[in-house]
Amino acid sequence: MKKAFIFLVVIFIFISSHAQAAFVLGSTRVVYNAGDNDVTLSVMNTSTLPYAGQAWTGPFHKEEGNSPHSDAPNFVITPPVFRVEPGETQKLRFILATPPLSEEVESVYWINVQEIPPEPKNSNTLQFAQRIRIKLFYRPDALNELSASEAPDSLKISFTEEGVSIKNPAPFSVSFLSPLLEDKTGKKHPLDALLTLLPGEEFIVKCQPCGYTRFHFQSINDFGGIDDHGPREISP
């Protein structure tokens, strides 16, 4: 039993040491404003080995956006396939290729960056190729005079026939961190499924009857920082 335990610990340490991502991105999100010729994202190789990589974009709400072989890309990326030496950085350039989803509100896409590890010298070596995925926000000219930072505070939280409605009326999306509902006893209930609300989207927490009284949440801003918005009373 003791030998088996030691064996499992060794395997865990081996996998953990090889499962760390080689690539580190220079940002947790990218904002592309209309009128920009392009935007860039840096990819740093933190490993001791040279790594290749592949990058592509995809629709935010479509699973096929996770595949480099999905529909025509929304953005041209140069270079789409690249090689990064240990400790070096590769800059990726994004250029809008097709019209955005809307000229009135913000559109959201995924940026996918796939690691391609070098061929192992030992054929018995277990390798892990990590994929990093971050959001790209495209903002049309119509939003030039507006501020994305005000979107979280404009959320409408109210009771409906189905339960509690959390609606985003703003032309910007809202990315949530640690959203939860507080009930009459003060107990807090996490909303793990509430990650992002696109412009005009609504998230329904089904409950009947509902004993919730307040909504707590933090949001992630354009710089990847966290903004705390305090508790919000649920409107009748």
Residues with pLDDT less than 70, the chain: 1-19, 62-73, 123-126
Q: CB-hemisphere CA count at 13 Å for 75?
A: 33
Give me the domain span that covers residue 217. 148-233
pLDDT in tens, 150-179: 999 999 999 999 999 999 999 999 999 999
pLDDT in tens, 172-197: 999 999 999 999 999 999 999 999 99
In a domain, 59, yes or no: yes
Q: How far apart are CA 105 and CA 142, in angstroms?
A: 8
Residue 120: name the closest of 12, 18, 8 by CA: 18
Final residue of a structural domain among 109, 143, 177: 143
pLDDT for the residue numbered 99: 80
Does residue 183 share a domain with residue 114?
no
pLDDT for the residue numbered 100: 79
In a domain, 17, yes or no: no
Q: Which residue has the tokens 């009326």?
A: 169
Does residue 137 share a domain with residue 73?
yes
Domain of 87: which CATH number? 2.60.40.10
| Residue 141 contacts residue 199 (beta carbons within 8 Å) | no
